[in-house]
Amino acid sequence: MWGSLFLGLCLILHSLFLAVCTDRLGKLADRIKKWRPGPRIIMLLLMALGVIVFAHTVQVWIWAAVYIQYGALLSWNDAIYFSLVTYTSLGYGDIVLGPGLRIFAAFASVTGLLGFGLSTALLVALFTRLITWRANH
């Protein structure tokens, strides 16, 4: 149950980051519409990537804080490392949680998979829009 709760919290947070990003991208695009196409595209992509990286980083830190709070891991270094390799589904296996927390940690992996899917969808939409805009100008 706790894993589902933190998964939901992280996905709501991620969705909020992406919604704000989309709104800001529209406003930024209006402000820099007279820029040359290359710099304009680069600026919009950098902003989107910055928000996406920040959103994922916040979620990794949330999971790390939970591992520390509940005593699953004792150092921030281990907690952030474990959180990052679990969130990205890399899972080296050099740090393993006890049997009672393995399912909880799996929810961090599902959170990462869904978050990366949402981020990818935003980038595909942005690229599609930029390519269409570039073709028409």
Q: Where are the domains of the chain?
A: 2-136
Q: What's the rounded Cα separation, in Å, for the pair 21 and 74?
A: 35
Q: What's the rounded Cα separation, in Å, for the pair 31 and 55?
A: 24
In this model, does residue 63 exceed pLDDT 70?
yes
Q: Does domain 2-136 have CATH number 1.10.287.70?
A: yes
Question: What pLDDT digit, counting tens, does each position of 34-56 carry?
Answer: 888 889 889 999 999 999 999 99
Closest to 33 (Cα-Cα) out of 45, 41, 23: 41
Question: What pLDDT digit, counting tens, does each position of 81-137 carry?
Answer: 999 999 998 888 898 898 888 888 999 999 999 999 999 999 999 888 888 876 676
Quick check: helix, strand or coil at residue 72? coil
Closest to 82 (Cα-Cα) out of 71, 65, 95: 95
pLDDT of residue 135: 67
For residues 117 and 93, is the Cβ–Cβ distance under 8 A? no
Angle, vertex CA 51, rays to CA 57 and CA 79, nearest 5: 0
Segment 4-9 shows an average pLDDT of: 91
